[in-house]
Amino acid sequence: MEVIEQVSALRAIVTALRCGGKRIGFVPTMGALHEGHLQLLRASARENDVTICSVFVNPTQFNNASDYKLYPRTLEQDISLLQSVGCDYLFAPSAEEIYPQQSVLQFSFGELEAVMEGAHRPGHFNGVATVVSKLFHIVQPHKAYFGQKDLQQVAIVRQLVRALSFDLELVCYPTVREADGLAMSSRNKRLSDAQRQQAPQLYKALQLAAADLKQKPVAAIRSEVAQKLQQVEELELEYFEIVDSLTLQPLQDISGQEEVALCIAAFVGEVRLIDNMLVNLKEG
């Protein structure tokens, strides 16, 4: 595997690959890789001639300076993992390489960014859209792979691909979980042992809500989840929403819905975690 730090060097490689008729798979990450990332990389290796992974902790999508500073950075370990799953190229640029001057671009995603993550993290999706656009232009992939854990981010990127006519296929894979249900996340590395024991309560809350969807009103389920998590030490619920699985708009009534998404965000200590679950209401 070749490690590349300069945009110009990667552009030259991508041009040669495309001229040679090679299909390129791309997995954008912020590093601190785990099995969720590796699932995407294996899929790319199976489905494409060449796989490129980026590791870049993007400063423009953090609205909390401390969160950016403390985000796990484990590049040496990441390189070893990437080699083990057949990644061909790692793009690991500096912030100055991606942003040679301050970005002043402004993206608007309408109602999609006015809820959940967009509402609680102002500017976050503008930063996501900016860096993803840059990476898509640099890497020029045929397929780009994302995980369902960041469900709203996937919806934002899907809208970005359509709006800017990126010639690529967006592929989304289900969330990979630990044995106790906790969604795998790079941020999990920041949890203390005690916090790690509490963190799976987010997934348990989603399971509880999913089981009650056909029996209780939406408002009652929201209240039940809030009350359950209020009892968990060191856990502070930021939001729990029952939303349309396509538009991600909150629902007050699920009658007539074929599928909904249960979305949750909470602080466990100072570590902010998110999770979600898609529920097909026509099954069972």
Binding site members for (R)-pantoate? 61, 153
Helix pair angle (7-19, 124-139), 10° resolution: 50
Question: Phi and psi at residue 233, in whole multiples of 5°?
Answer: -65, 140
Catalytic residue check, 120: no
Q: In the sheet where 50-55 sits, what is the strand order?
A: 2-4, 89-91, 50-55, 24-29, 143-147, 169-173
List the catalytic residue out of 37, 120, 124, 142. Answer: 37
The span from the CA of 5 to the CA of 91, in Å, is: 6
DSSP string of 218-265, one letter each residue: HHHHHHHHHHHHHTSTTEEEEEEEEEETTT--B-S--TT-SEEEEEEE
Binding site members for ATP? 30-37, 147-150, 176, 184-187
DSSP string of 157-197, one letter each residue: HHHHHHHTT--SEEEEEPPPB-TTSPBP-GGGGG--HHHHH
The span from the CA of 17 to the CA of 211, in Å, is: 49
The span from the CA of 250 to the CA of 163, in Å, is: 24
Beta carbons within 8 Å of 152's beta carbon, 6+ residues apart = 112, 115, 116, 117, 118, 125, 248, 263
Binding site members for beta-alanine? 61
Catalytic sites, residue numbers: 37
